[in-house]
Amino acid sequence: MRSDPKDYELVAPGSLQAAVGLLARSPGEWLPIAGGTDVMVQYAAGKLPSRKLVSIWNLAELRSIEVLANEIRLGAGCTYTNIREHGVIGREFPMLSSAARWTGGIANQNRGTLGGNIVNASPAADSLPALLAYDAELILISVRGERRLPYAGFHAGYKKTKLAPDELIRAVCLPRRFSGYVCHARKVGSRNAQAISKVCMAALGRVAGQTVEDVHIAVGSVAPVPLRLSETELMLRGKVINESLVSAAKKMAVAEIRPIDDIRSTAKYRAAVTGNLVAEFLNLLSADGKA
Amino acid sequence: MKKELVELKINGRTHELAIEPSALLLDVLRQDLGLTGSKRGCDESSCGACTVLVDGVAMMSCTLLAASCQEQEITTVEGVSQHGSLAAIQKAYGDWGGAQCGFCTPGFIMTVKSLMAENPDPSEAEVRAALSSNLCRCTGYSQMYAAIKSAIAAERNAMVEAK
Amino acid sequence: MNHERIVGTAVPRKEGREKVTGKAVYVDDMVLPGMLYGATVRSQIPRGRIKKITFETSVAWSEFVIVSAKDIPGKNCIALIGDDQPCLASDSINHPEEPVLLLAHPDRHALRKAVDAVSIEYNPLPAIFTMEESERGSEIVWGTDNVFKTYLIQKGNVDDVWSRADYIIEGEYSTGAQEQLYIENNGMVAAYDAKQGITVWGSLQCPYYVHKALMALCDLPAEKVRVVQMETGGAFGGKEDYPSMIAGHAALLAMKSGKPVKIVYDRAEDMAATTKRHPSRTRHRTALSRDGKILGGEIEFTIDGGAYATLSSVVLSRGAIHAGGPYYWPSVRIRAKAVATNAPPHGAFRGFGGPQSIFAMERHMDRIAQVVGLSPVEIRRRNFLQPGQTTTTEQVVRELIDLGKLLDRAISVSEYQTKKQEFAIENGTGATKKGIGIAAFLHGAGFTGSGERYLSSVVGVEGCADGGVRILVSSTEFGQGTKTVLCQIAAEALGLRYEDVTIAQPDTTEVPNSGPTVASRTVMVVGKLVESAARGIHQTLKLSGMLGDSYSAEEFRAACQAYVAGHGQLRSWAQYDPPPDVFWDDEKYRGEAYAAYSWAVYIAEVSVDLTTYSVSVNDFVALQEVGRVLHPVLAIGQIVGGVAQGIGFALFEKVIWQQGRMQNNQMTNYIMPTSSDLPPIRVFFEELGNVHGAFGAKGIGELPMDGPAPAIVNAIEDALGVRFDSIPLMPEDIYDAITARSLRGEDEVASVIR
């Protein structure tokens, strides 16, 4: 423990309104903390610059999972355990369930929240490619009211988001329109549990015969932000899957990412594995078309 | 920041304590309450030696604010055995080689306790997945699997006998 | 042989109940009245001289106790083998984690800011970080030539064999640093009192190492230094020498402040500053006959010792002696060298040089097999040491070991041949390739050569007033089961119940020096002494006429009570007496290197995913002959735990260095296996017995660390047809090698192998 608790303030507002009220009074001064699986690690390491913490862990308004006719609305305070144990999510958004299972160990999953994962904005976060692939939207809340925006584009740069200093994420909305899609998600980490991803991918698509009708491919850990491979998707749509298309898609995917060398892996390895995962997904898609 | 009074329910007892609002639960347990069974191994929620149950759910107390656990039931390894007799999982860890150096053991006991409460008949794959929250450098884990199996059987037998 | 009642059975671990209830007291659980917390200010550069130290005014320094090298009453060194490592740097800095100042304060949360508020200015000097830079000698960072120690082992005339050889096969192999990663970090509490001297309580393996170091550092006589081992949360060699440093630091702060001081490292500091396994490089040049028999060879074994000599000479010695593996070498020349770099000193880690040189030997055997055109099984079988033959140090193998039989059994239980055939077919298609690999090896138990003679360990057993028996040894429990097994031995020797025997917590005021708890020596060497000291108790009772030759546990208890009541004390001591037929020449490094060896054949089955280049170990067979197994559950625990660490050594655990400093000093970034990463580890024992060990036991602790890495890498080569000679072998390396192969083309790879 490398921080001195005496240097930190913590408040725990009793309601969501009170929490956003506090943020509005001095925007940017208070750091919201939910499960704290990222913030508290920085705190214990003596690396947390914010000295004022506002706990939003106990806010019931953020903990619900609503299943609506056309979308599922997950409160930002849902934990990975809430997500992986939810039946509808398991059936309709299996890649999000898998990502929840891959995040940290079970004790982290009991504490870490989806909203926290988004705001922490690590390019290696496991759940984010799934949210991108599923065309998730975010509902943000502040004293000024709520606003809804697509999750794609929310990350403005490495560890930067479009969240205003007085805002919180209220909910994450997943459109229920991917039944019949082939899904393929993989996490490539340094071990099978408790690993930070070197590359992770969530992809879904639909073919008619061997022709790609729709495809979404999202990757993490290979750029400053989690990415949708939009160029690769564009190139694939309407095409017949064959060996040359797969190899072209691999090349294009590699061209779209910006992997780096760090203490966990190398840029060239990350690029090669990204290409391989895209190819693996397309081969599954093709097999589905033949089935 | 000034200390504040908080109320923590630990192992069935309520403690009223003056602590810093940003004090970590692990520090409060170990320093303020002398409950040193929960161990500090990494400070970054990796090793699991500090695992406790909060309302029955396994959490790592090294990165948990004590103040955020008010109103909840906290269970530590000191609360597992009751009236001086070992819980089935404690006995089994001792008999089957689940504990070597013993430092990770309290954390594993808590993780397994929550696993057994949620899933009375876990498969080996489920056991492995559950245990992957905690690190053990001595055992290579495999004698823990035997211990867990034996603890489950012992609990089941105890239930049958009770009937 | 199996008429024993207690040895060979799985009695409950002596300290088991405390451990599963959380009541066991580790050093960080200990609080003394008025205790301060200590912290260490370390150098930030790899090499240079201290110019100026500034205390920033943001901190209320008057609240702190500050210790520098000037406060050391004795010699500024951590006394061990040589005395080259300072306790606190006063001028020269030789690695980036060198302790410079010590701080203590009543509030442990206040320390970090204070450490950060000390700024040290340096005159930097050029530093070196690799064995190759060290060997080039462009910068001399230690002594006159950067060399801590060399050994030369020569058998026969190897220069003659090259002209007769049908094949000459060369290879170079390397292994990386490995962090012990015990879950309990290092820590010490010290208290000082002018009359009684210094007492330290801590997490440690070797109480008398700490005792010796504190006497020199604090300039105190033996009776004014007391070392107590607390429950120790794993060690694996990592608490062999560095605890002396931390004990010294805590003692200096306690002496200056007059208050007890606790220093417990956090994970980041422990990983960065304390010792790791020595990185190594081994070169083999081997002459073989047409039928695959080794004619002779040269082995060059080099290890990176880091900035100070510490234990490097002994790690080097064990590595050199194990470098020839379990094979018969008609002639051999082994040159071993430990060199200096500007990294924190490397130290002991389970296996102690063995895993490094055995990795090379066992990879090289597979390479030899390919060149000669034999299977990995057959090449080993043809070269195994046989009873009556001599090892590389010309020790005659007197044990009746049949390595061929071990190999057959391992092949059978692993279904090696069936899997070989299946994989050959399956690997044609699909993105997953499977392979299976073998490692055969040996591990010497006890100190090397004259080591046990020099240690001359003493063990005590006492009869207590309540009629029970208590063992007095400085041998420590840190998970392996020292307490349990030594109590089993004493109970067996005296015909008592296991519950009748207890063991003292190691405390240098209470227990004699039974030597350090290292080198797989505790059960074999110390156990044998416990057996003999225990028999001494019976002798005394018998001579006093209180007990006959046969007696019940109750009769023993009564006799013991009566004796203690009458005489005040009942104690029996045993001291190590070297076997008469043991010959060792320290100059020529020739003779009986170890009183006994354990022998093993391990087989690993892997699959390699060509989408991610990651390796899974799917099955692992660990078959060994370790003499008599005294406690089946503990013995299996040692093997499985060692194999798990060996799998980590091979595939997961990579220290990322930058300018001599560990960059990934966090448990999230230094990757040890979780329960989801390990295969079923299937353990089998052969039990030949051993005349030198208690009830036939040999060493077991280190052995399982030696075999997994080569078995796994051999399996990976089997799966991919690509050679890997360096560990840790990460997916990134596999990707690089596969890419390089496809660039070079298949044919060229074949020629590289030939």
CB C341 within 8 A of CB C307: yes
User: Domain coordinates of chain C in residue numbers?
Assistant: 16-24+457-575, 32-125+188-265, 280-448+589-753
Interface contact A192-C677, CB threshold 8 A: yes
Clarify whether residues A67 and A115 are in a common domain.
Answer: yes
CA-to-CA distance for A92 and A133, rounded, in angstroms? 13
Residue C388: closest CA among C328, C322, C442: C328
Does the CB of A265 have a partner CB in chain C at under 8 Å?
yes
Interface contact B24-A1, CB threshold 8 A: yes
Give B159's pLDDT tier (boundaries 50, 70, 90): confident
CATH class of C32-125+188-265: alpha beta
CB C155 within 8 A of CB C297: no
Comparing CB atoms, the residue among B44, B65, B135 nearest residue A55 is B65
Give the phi and the psi of residue C515 in degrees, each rounded to 5: 90, 170
What is the SS3 assignment for A105?
Answer: coil
The answer to whether the C16-24+457-575 and C32-125+188-265 domains have the same CATH topology is no
E-assigned strands of C363-479? 432-445, 458-463, 469-472
Does the CB of C182 have a partner CB in chain B at under 8 Å?
yes
Comparing CB atoms, the residue among C610, C676, C739 nearest residue A193 is C676
Residues in B touching A194 (Cβ below 8 Å): 46, 132-133, 135
Interface contact A193-B68, CB threshold 8 A: no
Radius of gyration of chain C (CA): 27
What's the pLDDT at C754? Answer: 30
CB C665 within 8 A of CB C634: no
Interface contact B58-A8, CB threshold 8 A: no
Give C582's pLDDT tier (boundaries 50, 70, 90): confident
Residue A2: closest C-alpha in chain C: C112
Show which subunits contact B, needing at least 3 CB pairs below 8 angstroms.
A, C
What's the pLDDT at C752? Answer: 36
Token output for A153: 């584009």
Clarify whether residues A267 and A231 are in a common domain.
Answer: yes
Q: How many CB pairs under 8 A join B and C?
A: 165
Please give the mean pLDDT across all residues of chain A: 97
Residues in C touching A266 (Cβ below 8 Å): 732
Residue B3: closest C-alpha in chain A: A6
Alpha helices (H) in C574-707, listed in sequence order: 632-651, 703-706
Does the CB of C424 have a partner CB in chain A at under 8 Å?
no
What is the SS3 assignment for C586?
Answer: coil
pLDDT, mean of residues A257-264: 97
What's the pLDDT at C749? Answer: 35
DSSP C456-493: --EEEEEE-TTS-EEEE-----SSS-HHHHHHHHHHHH
Residues in B touching A55 (Cβ below 8 Å): 65, 67-68
Rounded to the nearest angstrom, the minimum Cα separation between B87 and chain C is 9
Show which subunits contact C, needing at least 3 CB pairs below 8 angstroms.
A, B
Token output for A279: 């190819």
Interface contact A2-C652, CB threshold 8 A: no
Rounded to the nearest angstrom, the minimum Cα separation between C677 and chain A is 6
Q: What is the pLDDT of residues C1-40, one digit of tens each?
A: 456 899 999 999 999 999 999 999 999 999 999 999 999 9
CA dihedral C378, C384, C389, C393 (to 10 degrees): 130
- The CATH code that applies to domain B4-79 is 3.10.20.30
Q: What is the pLDDT of residues C457-510, one digit of tens each?
A: 999 999 999 999 999 999 999 999 999 999 999 999 999 999 999 999 999 999
pLDDT, mean of residues C437-449: 96
What's the pLDDT at A220? Answer: 98
Does the CB of A276 have a partner CB in chain C at under 8 Å?
yes
Interface contact B137-C21, CB threshold 8 A: no
CA-to-CA distance for C533 and C538, rounded, in angstroms? 9
CATH topology of domain C280-448+589-753: Aldehyde Oxidoreductase; domain 4 (3.30.365)
| Delimiting residues of CATH 3.10.20.30 domain(s) in chain B | 4-79
pLDDT, mean of residues C611-628: 98
Residue C679: closest C-alpha in chain B: B142
pLDDT of residue C751 exceeding 70, the answer is no
pLDDT of residue C449 exceeding 70, the answer is yes
Q: What is the pLDDT of residues C73-118, one digit of tens each?
A: 999 999 999 999 999 999 999 999 999 999 999 999 999 999 999 9
Cis peptide leading into residue C728 (ω within 30°): yes
Residue A57: closest C-alpha in chain B: B68
CA-to-CA distance for A34 and A56, rounded, in angstroms? 5
| Residues on chain B bordering chain A, Cβ-to-Cβ distance under 8 angstroms | 1, 20-24, 27, 40, 43-46, 48, 51, 57-60, 62-65, 67-68, 111, 129-130, 132-135
Burial C67-81 (b: 16+ CB within 10 A, else e): bbbebbebbbbbbbe
Interface contact C735-A265, CB threshold 8 A: no
Interface contact B68-A1, CB threshold 8 A: no
pLDDT of residue A244 exceeding 60, the answer is yes
Task: State which CATH number among 3.90.1150.10, 3.40.140.10, 2.60.200.20, 3.30.365.10 fits the domain covering C16-24+457-575.
Answer: 3.30.365.10
Interface contact B102-C231, CB threshold 8 A: yes
Comparing CB atoms, the residue among A6, A45, A110 nearest residue B1 is A6
Q: Which position has the token pair 């070196």?
A: C128
User: Which is the CATH superfamily of the domain at B88-162?
Assistant: [2Fe-2S]-binding domain (1.10.150.120)
Does the CB of A9 have a partner CB in chain B at under 8 Å?
yes
Rounded to the nearest angstrom, the minimum Cα separation between C130 and chain B is 29
What's the pLDDT at C692? Answer: 85
What's the pLDDT at C202? Answer: 98
DSSP A200-224: EEEEEEEEETTEEEEEEEEEESSSS
Does the CB of A2 have a partner CB in chain B at under 8 Å?
yes
Whether residue A246 lies inside any domain: the answer is yes
pLDDT of residue C750 exceeding 70, the answer is no
Q: B153: Cβ–Cβ under 8 A, 6 or more apart, which residues?
A: none
Q: What is the pLDDT of residues A189-220, one digit of tens each?
A: 999 999 999 999 999 999 999 999 999 999 99
pLDDT, mean of residues A58-66: 96
> What proportion of chain C, given as a percentage, has pLDDT over 70?
98
Clarify whether residues A64 and A49 are in a common domain.
Answer: no
pLDDT, mean of residues B25-37: 98
CB C292 within 8 A of CB C236: no
What's the pLDDT at C607? Answer: 98
Residue C111: closest C-alpha in chain A: A2
CA-to-CA distance for B37 and C296, rounded, in angstroms? 56
DSSP C144-155: TTSEEEEEEEEE
Does the CB of C33 have a partner CB in chain B at under 8 Å?
no
Comparing CB atoms, the residue among A5, A44, A81 nearest residue B62 is A44
pLDDT of residue C748 exceeding 60, the answer is no
Give the phi and the psi of residue C58 in degrees, each rounded to 5: -65, -15
Interface contact A6-B20, CB threshold 8 A: yes
Length of chain C: 754
Q: Indicate the residue among A175, A210, A231 that finishes a domain.
A: A175
What's the pLDDT at A37? Answer: 94
Whether residue A239 lies inside any domain: the answer is yes
What is the SS3 assignment for C86?
Answer: coil
Q: How many CB pairs under 8 A join A and B?
A: 101
Does the CB of A195 have a partner CB in chain C at under 8 Å?
yes
CB C115 within 8 A of CB C103: yes
Give the phi and the psi of residue C531 in degrees, each rounded to 5: -60, -45
Alpha helices (H) in C505-603, listed in sequence order: 527-543, 553-567
What's the pLDDT at C1? Answer: 42
Comparing CB atoms, the residue among B35, B80, B105 nearest residue C19 is B105
Q: What is the pLDDT of residues B70-84, one digit of tens each?
A: 999 999 999 998 788
Does the CB of A280 have a partner CB in chain C at under 8 Å?
yes
Q: How many CB pairs under 8 A join A and C?
A: 70
Clarify whether residues A252 and A223 are in a common domain.
Answer: yes
Comparing CB atoms, the residue among C26, C633, C643 nearest residue B140 is C643
- The number of domains in chain A is 3
Whether residue A1 lies inside any domain: the answer is no
Please give the mean pLDDT across all residues of chain B: 95
| Delimiting residues of CATH 1.10.150.120 domain(s) in chain B | 88-162
pLDDT of residue A81 exceeding 60, the answer is yes
Q: What is the pLDDT of residues A11-27, one digit of tens each?
A: 999 999 999 999 999 99
Rounded to the nearest angstrom, the minimum Cα separation between C563 and chain A is 54
Interface of C with A in 267-296 (CB under 8 A): 268
CA atoms within 13 A on the CB side of C489: 32
CA-to-CA distance for C721 and C289, rounded, in angstroms? 25
Candidates C608, C611, C674: best to mutate against A (most CBs of A within 10 A) is: C611
Residues in B touching C25 (Cβ below 8 Å): 36
Antiparallel, parallel or unpaired: β C167-175 and C280-288: antiparallel
Clarify whether residues A207 and A283 are in a common domain.
Answer: yes
pLDDT of residue A260 exceeding 90, the answer is yes
Beta bridge partners of C277: C347
Q: Which position has the token pair 């007890």?
A: C260
Rounded to the nearest angstrom, the minimum Cα separation between C5 and chain B is 18
Domain that holds residue A43: 7-55
Residue C160: closest CA among C331, C301, C352: C331
Interface contact A2-B43, CB threshold 8 A: yes
Token output for C520: 């797989």
Q: Which position has the token pair 């903390």?
A: A33
Give C547's pLDDT tier (boundaries 50, 70, 90): very high
Domain CATH code at residue A141: 3.30.465.10
Please give the mean pLDDT across all residues of chain C: 96
What's the pLDDT at C745? Answer: 56
